[in-house]
Amino acid sequence: MNMKKFVLFALLLSIFSNAQTEKYKTADYALPENVKSYHTFTYLYDVPSGKFKTVEKKLLFFENGMLKTDFLMDNYLGIYANLKTYEYNDQKQLIAIKEASDYQNPKYYLSKEFFYTQNQLTKVITHGGSKKIIKEMTYDKSGKIIQSKTFDEDNVVMEEVKYNYTTPTDYTVVSKIFSNGKEISIIEDKYVKYLMMSKKINDSLGNILYQYEYDSKGNRILLDDGLDEYHTNYIYGKTGAILKSRATEYDEFDDSLSNFFKFSEITFTDGTKEGSKNFDTTYVKSFNVSVLSYDVVDDLK
């Protein structure tokens, strides 16, 4: 597998992330509405120190079943922090996301605006870069999205997407990616029962095919690129939310395959908790990882 291409592709997807996939309800995380917070810590073994390192903390805070604050800290190359707040209209539709980089003295700026026509999301405007990015969506009479177009404020096209349906839950999404108005890549995603089963990329670097498998709850357990397989294991709580996971992923900073362990803690509005965000040595040991110790270093205080 061309790892540089994998990283480039990941960055590309982050730029053209589908607006409809914003997760902002407790139900999106298999949580009930009486959840106050959902905190997840990620741990990665650090070979030079021989210890596990807390590389990411993601703190989600909810009100009445809606995400209000998303606070992220990571320590992959150095300490980074990002704070997001979410705003809704009276119909509980997401209308704005504001961001700040300084969580101790946040100065928010408008990150995204969401616009609706007849209760359907029809436009997303992304702020923060050198130019505004506009994404417009079109639907058929039954309410299914059939195409979208992303362009900057100078009307330079960045992405064109078309949806072709076999059934309401099975469809193919073809995305054309542009740079400076020139087509540079075509991505074809195939979905079965709303789950992406394959992704085919055709660009100047060649062709690559990713295939996916999921568990009964719809969470990905396998990514196969034809050369390597990336496995993910989960342990779920009583509501169906993820409490523990182990994912084999490409660590772009170490240029190797690594095990990322995540542990989550749910706090309900009555003060009760489920799960723990702390490092679970027993769970990690169950994967027979080769390490010098199970000590943890946490620089994300």
Q: Give the DSSP letter string of 240-283.
A: S-EEEEEEEEEETTTTEEEEEEEEEEEEETTS-EEE--S--HHH
Residues in the chain: 301
**3-297 fold:** Porin (2.40.160)
| Average pLDDT along the chain | 90
User: Can you give the pTM of this predicted structure?
Assistant: 0.90
Per residue in 229-267, pLDDT (tens digit) is 999 999 999 999 999 999 998 777 666 789 999 999 999
Arithmetic mean of pLDDT, 280-299: 95
Residue 17 pLDDT grade (very low, low, confident, very high; cuts 50, 70, 90) = very low
Residue 19 pLDDT grade (very low, low, confident, very high; cuts 50, 70, 90) = very low
Per residue in 68-121, pLDDT (tens digit) is 999 999 998 888 899 999 999 999 999 999 999 877 778 888 899 999 999 999
Name the residue with higher pLDDT: 190 or 10. 190
Arithmetic mean of pLDDT, 176-181: 92
What pLDDT score does 15 carry?
Answer: 42
Residue 217 pLDDT grade (very low, low, confident, very high; cuts 50, 70, 90) = very high
What are φ and ψ of residue 239, in 5° steps? -90, -10
